[in-house]
């Protein structure tokens, strides 16, 4: 067992270090954004936005194949990172603008519909392009194992910016989410804070999803904050617990995916491990707190 773990870490260090570092960055920032959405009762937004970004990435592949890639007798290589980013950003903000229309009470329902529609449209767009291998890799393996130094640096830069913004506004965001009246007395505007959080999350997904895949962002953003919402003793400890759980679970999942003899796809492995670890910690925390 120890030898297998040592071999897995050696494999990560030699071949997949960029993907592992990018994963850890998302494991830190994702739960922070997810916690901000969960306390505002907007968790389904965290479900829809990463898939909107993935749908925009698929649209970039489709447009590239339709208007640029096709040549007489062949197809050139897949679109570059800039084109994929442009498609992701466009899809995220178009989708979020549509989600903004309507009552706040039905936002969750609209987000759930957007999630299902984005998944279906992504699959159709990819199947209508000649990039079948890319689609197969995204569905079955994700992109964590193919992250390069440029992608890693982009994820780190986006994560650092989002972390600074979240840390600087954490207290006001929490007050605005839990006690809007007190927030107004303090000079804050709850609706502005909510819109700013949504915009920040949309930007982060648009930049990061084309690099690490939607499943990574979705799972790390959504699962720990939901599982630990009622398990932690205080609001002040909520975000740190979510981040710690996410980092530990993401590390375990990546090591398992790189363990010789298992060969589990990173995306499904991450989903299973993060869910299992989050629920286990939540159950243990509730049991310990029970008088």
Q: pLDDT tens digits, residue range 113-124?
A: 999 999 899 888
Range from 125-134, 197-206, 247-256 carrying the lowest mean pLDDT: 125-134
What local confidence, expressed as pLDDT, does residue 194 receive? 75
| pLDDT level of residue 46 (50, 70, 90 thresholds) | confident
Range from 23-27, 253-257, 275-279 carrying the lowest mean pLDDT: 253-257
Under 8 Å between Cβ of 245 and 252:
no
The mean per-residue pLDDT over the stretch 2-13 comes to 74
Range from 88-92, 98-102, 108-112 carrying the lowest mean pLDDT: 98-102
Mean pLDDT of all residues in the chain? 83
Range from 11-20, 99-108, 167-176, 218-227 carrying the lowest mean pLDDT: 167-176
| pLDDT level of residue 81 (50, 70, 90 thresholds) | confident
| pLDDT level of residue 198 (50, 70, 90 thresholds) | confident
* pLDDT above 70 (res 203): yes
What local confidence, expressed as pLDDT, does residue 14 receive? 84
The mean per-residue pLDDT over the stretch 138-158 comes to 82
The mean per-residue pLDDT over the stretch 245-261 comes to 89
The mean per-residue pLDDT over the stretch 195-216 comes to 89
What local confidence, expressed as pLDDT, does residue 15 receive? 84
Q: What tokens were used for 158?
A: 């986006």
What local confidence, expressed as pLDDT, does residue 72 receive? 45
**Predicted TM-score of the model (pTM):** 0.87
The mean per-residue pLDDT over the stretch 174-201 comes to 67
| Alpha-carbon dihedral angle through residues 253, 254, 260, 263, given to the nearest 10 degrees | 70
| pLDDT level of residue 188 (50, 70, 90 thresholds) | low
* pLDDT above 90 (res 148): no
Residue bearing the bigger pLDDT, 280 or 288:
280
What local confidence, expressed as pLDDT, does residue 244 receive? 94
| pLDDT level of residue 138 (50, 70, 90 thresholds) | low
* pLDDT above 50 (res 192): yes
């Amino acid at each position: 067992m120890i030898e297998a773990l040592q071999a897995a870490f050696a494999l990560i260090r030699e071949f997949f270090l960029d993907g592992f570092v990018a994963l850890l960055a998302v494991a830190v920032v994702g739960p922070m954004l997810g916690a901000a959405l969960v306390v505002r009762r907007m968790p389904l937004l965290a479900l829809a936005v990463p898939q909107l970004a993935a749908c925009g990435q698929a649209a970039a592949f489709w447009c590239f194949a339709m208007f640029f890639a096709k040549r007489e007798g062949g197809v050139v290589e897949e679109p570059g990172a800039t084109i994929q980013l442009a498609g992701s950003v466009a899809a995220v903000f178009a989708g979020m603008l549509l989600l903004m229309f309507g009552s706040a009470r039905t936002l969750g329902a609209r987000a759930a519909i957007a999630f299902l529609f984005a998944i279906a449209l992504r699959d159709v767009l990819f199947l209508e392009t000649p990039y079948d291998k890319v689609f197969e890799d995204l569905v079955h393996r994700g992109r964590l194992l193919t992250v390069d130094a440029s992608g890693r640096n982009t994820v780190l830069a986006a994560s650092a910016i989002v972390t600074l913004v979240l840390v600087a506004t954490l207290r006001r965001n929490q007050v605005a989410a839990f006690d809007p009246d007190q927030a107004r007395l303090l000079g804050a505007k709850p609706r502005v804070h909510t819109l700013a959080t949504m915009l920040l999350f949309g930007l982060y997904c648009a930049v990061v999803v084309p690099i690490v895949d939607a499943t990574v962002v979705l799972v790390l953003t959504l699962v720990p904050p939901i599982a630990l919402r009622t398990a932690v003793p205080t609001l002040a400890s909520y975000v740190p617990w979510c981040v710690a759980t996410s980092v530990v679970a993401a590390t375990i999942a990546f090591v398992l995916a790189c363990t010789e003899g298992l060969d589990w796809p990173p995306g499904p492995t991450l989903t299973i491990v993060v869910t299992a670890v989050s629920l286990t910690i939540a159950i243990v925390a509730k049991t310990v707190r029970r008088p």
